[in-house]
Amino acid sequence: MRTLDEDGAVDPWRRRAWRPRRQMPLWQELPLLLIVAFCLAVLIRTFLFQAFFIPSGSMEDTLLIGDRVLVNKVVYDVRDPQRGEVVVFRGTDRWVAQQAQEPEPGIAGRFARTIGDLVGLSRPGEKDFIKRVIGLPGDRVKCCDAQGRVTVNDIPLDEPYVIRNSPLDLPPNPSECRSRRFAEVVVPPGQIFVMGDHRLVSQDARCQGPVPIDNVVGRAFVVVWPSSRWASLSVPDTFAGVTSPVTAAGDPPAPARPSGSGGVLLLLPVSASVSVLARSGRSGWSRRRRLHP
Q: Is 131 a catalytic residue?
A: yes
How much is the pLDDT for 169?
Answer: 87
How much is the pLDDT for 44?
Answer: 56
221-254 per-position pLDDT tens digit: 999 989 999 999 999 999 999 998 865 445 555 4
In this structure, the chain runs to a length of 293
Q: What 3-state DSSP class applies to 116?
A: helix
Residue closest to 143 by CA, chosen among 91, 114, 182, 95: 182
197-221 per-position pLDDT tens digit: 999 999 999 999 999 999 999 999 9
> Would you say 127 and 168 are in contact if contact means Cβ atoms under 8 Å apart?
no
Which residues does residue 131 pair with via DSSP β-bridges, in sequence order?
A: 87
How much is the pLDDT for 275?
Answer: 47
Mean predicted confidence (pLDDT) in 81-90: 96
Q: Is 127 a catalytic residue?
A: no
β-pairing verdict for 49-53 and 150-152: unpaired
Q: Which residue out of 56, 58, 166, 179 is catalytically annotated?
A: 58
Write 270-279 long-range contacts (CB < 8 A, 24+).
Answer: 272/39, 272/40, 272/43, 273/40, 276/36, 276/40
Q: Where are the alpha helices (DSSP H) in the chain?
A: 12-17, 26-47, 107-119, 205-208, 261-291
Reported as a pLDDT band with limits 50, 70 and 90, residue 106 is low
Residue closest to 143 by CA, chosen among 99, 195, 106: 195
Q: Which residue out of 56, 73, 131, 179 is catalytically annotated?
A: 131
